A and B are shown apart, each in its own frame.
Chain A
Amino acid sequence: MPDIQVDTNAPAIDVQELHKYFGDNQVLTGIDFEVDRGQVVCVIGPSGSGKSTLLRCVNRLEEPTSGKIFVEGVEVTDPDVDLDQLRSRIGMVFQQFNLFPHLTVLDNLTIAQTKVKKRGKDEAREIARATLEKVGLAHREDAYPAHLSGGQQQRIAIARALSMSPDLMLFDEPTSALDPELVGDVLDVMKDLAAEGMTMMVVTHEMGFAREVGHKLVFMDGGVIVEEGDPKEVLGNPQQERTQSFLSKVL
């Protein structure tokens, strides 16, 4: 199978005129959205605003109804695209962690490396251990996910995505299911990642993270992008009434 031709000049994520219906219910209405390489873009908005759906359309866990999405110049929405190969280059972190409970931490990190990336067992383990080191959980490689706290599970989930050496990372409310005291550890890992220059799209409620780490902030409501721009500008001086009203509730 030929490798997907990546265009190094294209933006990391380019969403054009994206519409998404669930049955008769329209959740995304003509979204145009871009993430440049090395950028951290945070997406905020009330629940039901379509922000998670937008993120899940990027690796086609949700099937867009119409519109085009490109990742590094490769059209994700092309019906003939090798979706599995494309997805192996897009790391994804879920709200509910979704670690594989029947596998140890180390096996969680190596299974896709060996089965999808066809790396050798030793190489996969080496990479897995290095990423575990990075998230500060090298000592838990033999544990099963159930024996870890939520914060540890989410850091393992990040390590699992990272061990595939992705070009970009999608985060779907990564701290929303965590106890408040565990949020910090996960955010620290994400901050380190951003500092290394990883391209990240983050759906989140963590305004502090968005302000501190984000290069761009997008506010969504009712299936459209209401306002976007520099996080400090949008958070400090929102132009749209809906943004103001949302921020006044959460800040």
Chain B
Amino acid sequence: MAMSPRRRAEVSRYVQYGVLALLLLLVALGADWGTLQTQFLNGEILPQLFPEIFSIALKNTVLYTACAFVFGLVLGLVLALMRLSSVGPYRWLSTVFVEFFRGVPALIVFIGFYYGLPVAFPGRVLPGGTLGVVTVALGLVGAAYMAETIRAGIQAVPKGQVEAARSLGMSHTRSMVSIVIPQAFRIILPPLTNELILLTKDSSLVYVIGLSLSDSELTDFGRRNLSQYVNLTPLFATALCYLIITVPLSIVVRRMEARADRAR
């Protein structure tokens, strides 16, 4: 049977919709909806999680991530500028740092900072308690990734921009601060937000240092209640909370990208 190309495309599309509908139907019929609801969205357990899931867990996750991100961003910018420096030792230091903290699991960095530092420097602890440890440990890991992103962004700014700035009498530092870095950050906004989303999830690793309830963040909170209720509802709820953070981030970035496109 000979079919015209248009007819063939039409048939192919119907087949694809058909397969999808069939799969959904199988899932809907095969799933044990009753058990799913008691295990994942248990109406008796869910209300017990409030308000702590927001007032403590979500708040702490946001706080830890924000502090680590800001610390990591500032350090990442310094590392990126060191990487581009004309002074050799700065470049080497930056490279070693980035390779180390990019290559080592974040979990090990957490353990190292919480258990290792007091051994190495007896009597000294990082200020700020749990928040201090998360900020520094997660920030160092984030900085290693962001340094590379920022460096790429700086190098992506056309050379003519620096030339124009210098020809107007701006110093090297002034051109970087006023002309190059603002443009670089606009270029790297999407990968930086990606990094923020990754850090949001990596902040869960803080559980290894052992948290009091008031320091508990989403994952830790979910685990506590998982063992208390022997039910997946708390974990499912915390998973949704992560999406409350990460999905708006993605939307904000898409908006900013659109605005930057208009200005370009």
Contact = CB atoms under 8 A, between A and B. Distances in A.
B30 to A, nearest CB: 54
Given A115-B174, A115-B178, A146-B264, A98 B163 contact: yes
A92 B263 contact: no
Nearest to A89: B169
Interface string B148-161: 00000000001011
A92 B163 CA distance: 10
B254 interface: no
B183 A101 contact: yes
Interface in B238-262: 262
Interface stretch (A15-23, A80-88, A199-207, A218-226): A80-88
Contacts of B171: 84
A87 B163 contact: no
A76 to B, nearest CB: 13
Nearest to A144: B263
Instruction: Give the dominant DSSP class at B's interface.
Output: helix
Contacts of B262: 146
A61 B163 contact: yes
Contact of A116 (B158, B164, B168, B264): B168
Given A101-B183, A102-B182, A85 B160 contact: no
Interface residues of A, number: 29
Interface size class on chain B is: 20 to 34
Contacts of B168: 87-88, 92, 111-112, 116, 160-161, 164
A115 B170 contact: yes
B167 interface: yes
A31 B161 CA distance: 28
B167 A87 contact: yes
A212 B28 CA distance: 82
A3 B76 CA distance: 38
Nearest to A90: B167
Of B167, B263, B264, chain A has the most CB atoms within 10 Å of the CB of B167
A90 B170 CA distance: 12
Contacts of A96: 160
10 contacts: A84-B171, A86-B169, A89-B169, A92-B164, A92-B168, A100-B179, A102-B182, A115-B178, A144-B263, A161-B168
Interface of B: 158, 160-161, 163-171, 174, 178-179, 182-183, 186, 262-264
Interface of A: 59, 61, 84-92, 94, 96, 98-102, 111-112, 115-117, 144, 146, 157, 160-161, 164
